[in-house]
Amino acid sequence: MYQFMEDAEETADLISRVYRKASLQLEYAARDIFEKFMTKYGLSETEAWQIINSIQDKNSIDQLKQELQNRKKDSEILKQLEAPAYRARMERLQNLMSQVDTVMQQVYQQEKQFDTKLLEQLGEKAYYHSIYNMQKETGLAFSFSHVSRKQIDQALQMKWSGKHFSDRIWQNTQQLADSLKDELLISLLTGRTDRETEESIQAQCGGGAKQARRLVRTESCYMAGELTAQSYIDCGIKNYRYVAVLDLRTSEICRELDGKVFSVKDRKAGVNYPPMHPYCRSTTISVIDDKILRNMKRSAYNPETGRTEMVPADMTYEQWYEKYVKGNLKAEAQEKAVKNASSDRKQYERYRELLGKDMPKHFADFQEMKYNEPEKWELLRTYARSVDKGTISPLSGFENYQKIYDEINEKVVGIKTSEGTAVTRQSKHFMDRVIGTMKDPKTGRSRSGVTVEGIRDALENPAKVFPTRTDPDSRKSQKYIGRHGTVSLDPETGILIQCNPTDADYVRRIANGNAKI
């Protein structure tokens, strides 16, 4: 199956170029319309969508104007759009809306052409490759005929997933055309800049290219599977064995089916035969003598080494998982990374927007930290939350944050206070007070930090130690007043709770015996 998916990827790359070309064509036309275009009466996107959803023909700018006229509160926008200065732009926009359909029709034709050519070639390859493998594995010379054009055409015409693949291409391109028209109207009504409009076109066409890649990969899997099944029939093979990929990206359904045997005549794609889902990588092999199967090999991913190695061909996914993954912390971490890839990427983008250069440069490095460096990950997460809340200055930088955190662990954690309490660790929010912020979110005033030396000095050589206090939630704390910092910790657990700079005048009053508790 791997070699067939390589062919599918090459075709998907060609189709992606078609979508990119379409995007550039529409971006260029839109730039001419929206350049230096800003309406001071621009609507919010929510209001704009309400108007757009009420228009039956999105190709008609006249319908848009009529809808604006019906909404008296939007009359100022209508006046602006009908002004002589915008008349030529409106005409070009009207033409562009029609051009979208033409461009998408061209995309549809090219995508269909590329897909059809690939599937025809792939079907023939799959048929002969399957027969070759059966002869190689068994040493038997099967009697078979050449695969006919009719057999390939029959497979091409099958609506195995409810629709013919060309209908799915048409549906995808039409949905993209509608989305592009919506984006152009949103740009018009909300006053987007030409650059913002170009970015929205890029995003929509990029999404269309992803849909096209998903379709060609899935249809390729189906075509290869169908012609492989035809080779089984022609060679008199009655049963097939389901074969999933032995790695951590394999879906739950394919894991369950791996190694199971089914009748060729009872095969059904999506039920007991590939593809079971979009981007399915599973395949099948003919059911042959168990002794022969035991002497054969199949590829398997080793999570410990990161390499592919050969294992007995009769090893099932369940057996592979038991041997290579279960109980292996590194492998289990990789499995989590694969399963959570989608949500992790959203988290990565959110953190990158919040922390900028403090984030790992690549998504893979982010996941490596999250699943294999738990202490560093927890520190980054705490830092991000503090920056987001405003309890710490983002100018401090995560590298500096981590350096100070490590310094506290090295120089403060493990010491004994003047009262004999052993310092065990830092609370999650202790670092916020060490570094400080440009503006305290509660008081609005800037808040300075405390040095590591000041923290240690306060604990070992305090000017004053307050009695232990217990809050309504039964949490205990004891305050140590130092010359350069005031530190609170839990006297029972030894956890550092918080710290603040010490007012110099307060220290003098303590020395003179005039300070109040």
pTM as predicted: 0.66
Write the burial class of residue 353 (CB in 10 Å: 0-12 exposed, 13-18 middle, 19+ buried).
exposed
Q: Summarize pLDDT for 37-90 with one digit per residue, the tens.
A: 555 556 676 777 776 677 666 666 677 777 666 666 656 666 666 666 566 777
Beta bridge partners of 206: none
Beta bridge partners of 186: none
What pLDDT does residue 407 have? 93
What pLDDT does residue 209 have? 93
Distance, CA of 396 to chain centre: 28
C-beta of residue 232 within 8 angstroms of C-beta of residue 286: yes
Q: How far apart (Å, rounded) are the C-alpha atoms in residues 9 and 349?
A: 26
C-beta of residue 436 within 8 angstroms of C-beta of residue 448: yes
What pLDDT does residue 251 have? 94
What pLDDT does residue 84 have? 66
What pLDDT does residue 71 have? 64
Q: How far apart (Å, rounded) are the C-alpha atoms in residues 246 and 411?
A: 48
Low-confidence spans in the chain with pLDDT less than 50: 140-144, 438-441, 517
CB-facing half-sphere around the CA of 179: CA atoms within 13 A: 17
